[in-house]
Amino acid sequence: MTALSNLCKLAELRAKTDEDLVHLVGNALELGIQCASAARNTPGTLRAKAEDIYANALMLLPKIENAQERRKLGNKADRIRELLDSTIAQTVSYSAY
């Protein structure tokens, strides 16, 4: 193999890896949204799962090269944070009574 063909193979592999990472993070964030949403009614394990997914996504988002995909996934991560924060606000308002 020539150096050029090695570079082409490497570029193809990088593109495939980035695409796989986008799908992996996207699927995890969808699950995180569902967990965070369900945790509003029954906090506990679901909340912890959503928190873990959120933290992992924040670590992986900078690794995604496609800015549009990164922004889209960042919006999903923001949605998880909003749901988790609203759960905390609900818990605080309930305990005030």
Percent over 90 (pLDDT), the chain: 65
What is the per-residue pLDDT across 7-59, written as a single tens digit (0 to 9) for each?
A: 889 888 888 999 999 999 999 999 999 999 998 877 689 999 999 999 999 99
pLDDT above 80: residue 93:
no
Q: Pseudo-torsion of CA 29, 27, 37, 91, nearest 10°?
A: -40
What is the per-residue pLDDT across 54-73, written as a single tens digit (0 to 9) for each?
A: 999 999 999 999 999 999 99
3-state class (DSSP) for residue 68 = helix
Q: Are 22 and 73 in contact (CB under 8 A)?
A: yes
Question: Which residue bears the tokens 């924060």?
Answer: 85
Distance CA 79, CA 51 (A): 12
Task: Using a cut of 0.85, tell me whether the model's pTM lies above it.
Answer: no
Closest CA to 28 of 48, 52, 45: 52
> What is the predicted pLDDT for the residue at 88?
65
